[in-house]
Chain A
Amino acid sequence: MKRFPFWLRAATSLMLISIALFVLGAVFFTPTSADRNWTTVVLLTLAIVLGIYAVLALVLRLAGIDVDSPDLAREISSDDPLAEALLDRWLRRSRYYRFMGGFLGLLVGLPMGSILTATLAGIAAGGAVAEIHFLRRRRSTTAIAALRVRRLRDYADVVDAAAMAVVVLGAFAVLIVVGLGHGSSLSAPHALTAVAVIVGAASMQFFVASRRRPAVRRELREADDLLRFLASTHGFARPAIALCFLLLGSAFAGGDPEGVLAGVSLLATVTGLFWWYRARHGRIPALARTRSR
């Protein structure tokens, strides 16, 4: 039941976009004869109102106004208000960086004709940048550090780790295909890029897991563990994995447009799209529940 507002908002946005497109289409295709002028005026007014709404929504989003974060934080946190405030702060930060990264990726990828891969690369990069705040950390006011050992596997998802291994194996398969004389001129660069992205994502997971933490009370520590887990999975690893599968898809596609490699390419692309679905914001509560189990 708590998911209802999310779907409602998504449906509202889709509905508004559909109405806006319909209205704009109607404005441009309505005959301009005198007896139909009133229709044009009404539709034009509606289009302007919707346009202003869309621009305002974008400006608010760019200014970091995030109306969903408090609800999400409440849903995934314990009853402790401080833990909830911590998760809310992380969600606002991570979602803002991911949105900005994705938006910038969209702008960069648009003229290059690679919108999806560039947007995913932007989301993954944004999610990773949101976690490197420890580089400019101020001098700690807390004299006590938590000495509990934190391991990477405590914060990484097993299925994600398996997918990362599959990407590396897939990249080697692409290189073998290229070595056998198949593949396009972009196959090897795409495969090597995928490996580099996986290495980068795994390194970031390690940094997030091992980033220092002062001794704080149990509720805050648990919330911090949860946000590290969310950062290591939802934050940047899953968009990075989705990106890598799409890269492998295009790498295999250049090999043999009609044969077995075309099937492998399709499989890699579909897997990439599935991981993209797993990286969506709406998946955060479900992901948090897997952590609490």
Chain B
Amino acid sequence: MSDSLRPAELRELDELIPPPMRPWQKLLIALVLIGLGIGWMVLYIGGWVVPRNPSDGYYGAQFHVADREEGLLGLRLTVPNHGRRDLRLTDVEFDAPGVEVVRVEVIDIPRPDPVAEPVQDGTPRAVQPVDLDAYYATEPAVPFPVDLPATDTSDRDEDAHVIIWLRPTSCVDPSVPWGKVSITLDFGEGAFPPLSKTYRGEWEAWSPGELMTVYDGSTSIRGEGPLSLACEVAR
């Protein structure tokens, strides 16, 4: 369309809107911008920009162990770092009325090898034996921050397993609901960018009326909800 215009008319247009760039110039700019966009994607997914892991969260909080002697319920948090950059777990917060935190420990659980069960109905089934002793940490309480080294997605050995030992303070209304669990991650002291990110997760799935079970190494303990469970353990 502009080809049919006289130079004076084109100058008039140029006064109002700049002359268009050539297609190769536009393509070059587009490729540079797309390169930047893809670079951002790689950095973000690799966990270089914001502390993150592939699930953009963690695997939730589970009531895994109980210590009957001390009357404590152990809440286990598995915090993976599948990014390509070392992280720190700087804080764990949770809304759990009726209990107090006695201590926080970081434990090292070796990844068990799958063991093949006898063939049933022609289909072999792989199971993972659970070594309960591993959940009872002998290490002293580890204060935050906890280092989370970068690891490969196929290797879960480096996940941080945090056990929070809880003691009930009031068992008057054991059906009181609990809120969410939050963990906060950062890149470490003096690292760039100086960002931290908080992820919120759910407690172990539980619906009212349903029994929760925890194993103390010899027997199963049941309770109608998390606080009820803690009270049963403390009894």
Q: Which residues of A contact B (CB under 8 A)?
A: 59, 62-65, 70, 73, 81-82, 84-86, 88-90, 92-93, 96, 100, 103-104, 107-108, 110-113, 133, 136-138, 140-142, 185, 213-214, 216, 220, 224, 227
Contacts and interface: CB of A to CB of B under 8 A. Distances in A.
A141 B34 CA distance: 37
B15 A216 contact: yes
A63 B41 CA distance: 23
Contacts of A216: 12, 15-16
Given A63-B24, A220-B12, 9 more contacts: A62-B26, A63-B23, A85-B9, A86-B16, A90-B17, A103-B33, A104-B36, A107-B34, A111-B45
19 contacts: A62-B27, A62-B31, A62-B34, A63-B23, A63-B24, A63-B26, A63-B30, A70-B1, A82-B13, A93-B20, A103-B30, A104-B34, A107-B34, A110-B41, A133-B18, A138-B14, A214-B15, A216-B15, A224-B16
Contacts of A63: 23-24, 26-27, 30
Contacts of B41: 107-108, 110-111
A112 B45 CA distance: 9
Contacts of B31: 62
A100 B30 CA distance: 7
B112 interface: no
Interface SS majority for chain A: helix
B23 A64 contact: yes
B38 interface: yes
A185 B198 contact: yes
A17 B109 CA distance: 48
B218 interface: no
Contacts of B24: 63
Contact of B44 (A88, A111, A137, A224): A111
Contacts of A81: 1, 4-5
Contacts, number: 95
A92 B29 CA distance: 16
Contacts of B5: 81-82, 85
A190 to B, nearest CB: 15
B37 interface: yes
Interface of B: 1-2, 4-5, 9, 11-18, 20-21, 23-24, 26-27, 29-31, 33-34, 36-38, 40-41, 44-45, 56, 198
A136 B19 CA distance: 12
Nearest to A185: B198
Contacts of A59: 27
Q: Which 4 pairs between the two chains have the least Cβ-Cβ distance?
A: A107-B37, A62-B30, A64-B26, A63-B23
A89 B44 contact: no
Contacts of B30: 62-63, 100, 103
Contacts of B9: 82, 85
Contact of A113 (B16, B20, B56): B56
B202 to A, nearest CB: 13
B17 A93 contact: yes
Nearest to B11: A141
B20 A64 contact: yes
B20 A89 contact: yes
A227 B44 CA distance: 38
A133 B17 contact: yes
B16 A213 contact: yes
A141 B27 contact: no
A110 B16 CA distance: 37
Given A82-B9, A88-B1, A141-B11, A103 B40 contact: no
Contacts of A84: 1
A142 B27 contact: no
Given A82-B9, A86-B17, A65 B23 contact: yes
B198 A100 contact: no
Given A81-B4, A85-B2, A92 B20 contact: yes
A66 B86 CA distance: 46
Contact of A64 (B17, B21, B36): B21
A65 B17 CA distance: 18
A96 B26 contact: yes
A263 B90 CA distance: 36
Contacts of A85: 1-2, 5, 9, 13
Contacts of B36: 104
Contacts of A133: 17-18
A46 to B, nearest CB: 27
Nearest to B46: A111
Contacts of A213: 15-16
A107 B38 contact: yes
Nearest to B6: A82
B33 A89 contact: no
